[in-house]
Amino acid sequence: MKRINYNISEQKKIDISKTVIPMISMTIISILLLIFGIENINSTNNRLSDKIAKRNFYRNESQKIKKRMREIDEKIKQIRSKWDPKVKFVNASIKIRSRSNPIKILNFIEEILPKSVYISEISITDSASGYINMSVISGSTGQLYGFYRDLVSYDLIILNENESDNLYKARLRIKYKNEQN
């Protein structure tokens, strides 16, 4: 059997303009794209390295600032340790003075003291308890007991009672309840 070869093309010659030129143009385009891609990668690398350098710079600056803040905190602690006892003393003094303001206490005693009971002695403690010690004199036990009833809500403590020359005397302790507490 004999083989039959058919050539369906009109020309037997290869047309260079139809095959080689497109191949060369595709190669040139590929090379240009490769060059642009490499250039893009290089510029991205440069930007990335700039960002890394900035990040490292800011990290170093942040560490310097943190170190400075620790130094300042240490100075503040030293100053506080020096001044805290003094400030606490002053604050305690202010609190005691505000609690035991003599005018307020005398106004308080004047309000609770009946006309038939007189004070012969008074002392105000400057402790945190806010106690008032007083000696009172009354003409009758009924008036004195009425005064006791009025003082029960102030943690009344009767320290001493006695009678002499038809006068009834008592030493009392009450707790001054300041409205600021």
In a shared domain, residues 149 and 79: no
Instruction: Tell me the pLDDT tens digit for each residue of 104-161.
Output: 778 888 888 888 888 889 887 765 567 888 999 998 888 888 888 888 888 888 999 9
In a shared domain, residues 95 and 164: no
Provide the domain count of the chain.
2
Residue 160 lies in a domain: yes
CB 124, CB 132: distance < 8 Å: yes
150: CATH: 3.30.1360.100
In a shared domain, residues 89 and 131: no
Structural element, H or E, at residue 103: helix 102-112
In a shared domain, residues 31 and 85: yes
Between CA 145 and CA 173, with CA 135 as vertex, the angle to 5 degrees is: 75
Residue 39 lies in a domain: yes
In a shared domain, residues 127 and 84: no
Domain limit, last residue, from 44, 76, 99:
99
Residues 6+ apart with CB under 8 A from 97: none
In a shared domain, residues 48 and 109: no
In a shared domain, residues 123 and 88: no
Q: Give 13's pLDDT tier (boundaries 50, 70, 90).
A: low
Higher pLDDT, 68 or 94: 68
Over residues 46-57, mean pLDDT:
93
In a shared domain, residues 121 and 86: no
Domain housing 154: 101-175
In a shared domain, residues 112 and 140: yes
In a shared domain, residues 94 and 105: no
Query: What pLDDT score does 96 carry?
Result: 61
Domain limit, last residue, from 60, 80, 99:
99
User: In angstroms, rounded to a whole number, what is the distance separating the alpha carbons of residues 29 and 75?
Assistant: 68
In a shared domain, residues 74 and 141: no
